[in-house]
Each structure stands twice: as C-alpha cells, then as structure tokens.
Structure 1
C-alpha cells in the first residue's frame, strides 16, 4: 500500500498495484477492469505475472528493446564528415535532403529520410554548428530542401 500513498510511481505501476489490491479483495477480472477503466486482458496479464514471479514482476515492465538505429556509428561519422565538407556545386550550403540523397547515392545506406539525417546531426550539434555546414534558419534550426524548418540545432 506504501506504493500508492507516495504518489511518485509511474501511472502504469500504480494501476497494476490497484489491480493486485482489488484481486486480493476477491473481485473478478471484469469488476476490476470496470472499476479501474482498464481492459480485462490487462487485469488477466497482471494476475498472471504476479503468480509467475511475485509482485515485482507484476508491477514493473521489462525494458523495451526499441527500434534498431537507422545509422550505425560509422555511418553517423560519415554523415557528419559529409555535412562538414563543401556543399555541392551550385549550392551555398547543404540541406538535409541533399545530405540524405548523397548518402543513398554513395551507397552508405539503402534509404534514409531527411528527418533521420536531422536527428543524427542533432546528436552531433557541436561539430555541425562550429562548421556551419547546414543552412540554419533564424539561427536555431535546420533548413529542409523545401525551405521548411527541421527543428532546433542547439
């Protein structure tokens, strides 16, 4: 009960604690689901986890793996080096779309979006900002090929 009184745990953890307390009071899955506004399958899974691994397994989620990175460290380094190089002839600066297109053209990646390029460069803002290699909009964003803003650099 201490977990519910503190009020600092994540909402999902608190809901699972409430499910287990209601289950301890001999309420059915349907009653618990209705009173806590959760799906009956959530109640069933929480009870099942509790039986399998005790309270800690029932209350806390396992870490989620997340998606595979689009660029490995070597590809990211290549992208930064490319962004730090001179812009293509006829261009005053690199745009995110030009960088994405060049990565595909050079065979570094099979496909990549300008948004992925923006996120990768954002991780390396110090290098990119000091080199002033990507067109900055209003001093705080990157310029996409179509002229729109891509987000904050710093």
Structure 2
C-alpha cells in the first residue's frame, strides 16, 4: 500500500464525540462506519488494518480521511448533498398550466382531466412528454395557494 496521504488527528473532544455516537448507536450505519474509520485512523492504524477490521474499501477509507483533513470531522461523517433532478416545468410554465386548468375545458369535455392537462402541456411544447401524475402533483402543490386567492373554487 502507498504511504498515507491524509493523516487524521482528532482532539480529545472529537474522540469523545465519536465514541459517544458509537455507544448510543442512534445514527445511520454509514455514519457509524465513518466514525470507526476516523477513530482507527487517528489511533495510527494503517489502511490494511482498517479494511480487515471494518470490512470497508480502501476508497472509503481514503475519502473519509481526506474529508476529515480538508473539511473537518462533521463533514467526514456525513454525505455530501446531491443535486437532484431538475424540474420539467419552469415556474412560468407551471403557472400557465394552472391557468389552463382554470379555463373552460375543450369542446366535447365536461371538465379538465389530469390526462387532458398533461396532453395540453405537450401540445404547448413545454415538454416532450408529461405524465398525468406529474400534473396531479403540481396541482396539489399549487392549488391550495390558488384556491385561497379565489381563482379556483373547489
């Protein structure tokens, strides 16, 4: 194994906090594993010893050491935030969808259905495909605000 690039040094308070976290056992398993890695790394254990003791990958040890040294103990214990998926419609397009739902339905229909609204979104060119379930979620999220403003009467 190559030389250890990131040397973990913990204060007495940090060691006490990590040991208390492991004693209580109330946090996520990944967080507990990272805490064990940090404690063993601070005690001077080599990566091979940590791998054997905790059954984790060398990459996980390296990343945990690196985050602890560069960003601190709290950052090393938790996951980085993930970006998530971008919404299909902009706020303006969502407002247009709600406004469409407040208009009279197309000829031959008694009322707007979720599928009709989804088809309308595609016809207007807002999205290539759009499901009725997405329309339902958007309306559920925004209709309380609109109904409170007196635009839609439910």
Flag whether TM exceeds 0.5 (same fold): yes
Which residue number corresponds to residue 114 of structure 2?
Answer: 96
Q: Quick check: which has more Rg, 1 or 2?
A: 2
* Structure whose residues are more often strand by fraction: 1
Q: Is 1:105 matched with 2:110?
A: no
1:112-123 superposed matches below 5 A: 112-123=130-141
Residue 30 (structure 1) shift: 4.7
Q: Which stretches in structure 1 are left out of the alignment for 5+ residues?
A: 133-154
How many positions carry a matched residue from both structures?
A: 131
Q: Which stretches of structure 1, 4 residues or more, deviate above 6 A after TM superposition?
A: none
Query: Structure 2: 5+ residue runs without aligned partners?
Result: 1-18
Structure 1 Cα separation of the partners of residues 89 and 48 of structure 2:
46
CA distance in 2, matches of 1:76, 1:68: 14
Report the aligned-residue RMSD: 2.6
What displacement does 1:101 show? Answer: 1.1
For normalisation by structure 2, the TM-score amounts to: 0.67
Q: Does 1:66 align with 2:84?
A: yes
Q: Distance in 2 between matches of 1:114 and 1:47?
A: 47
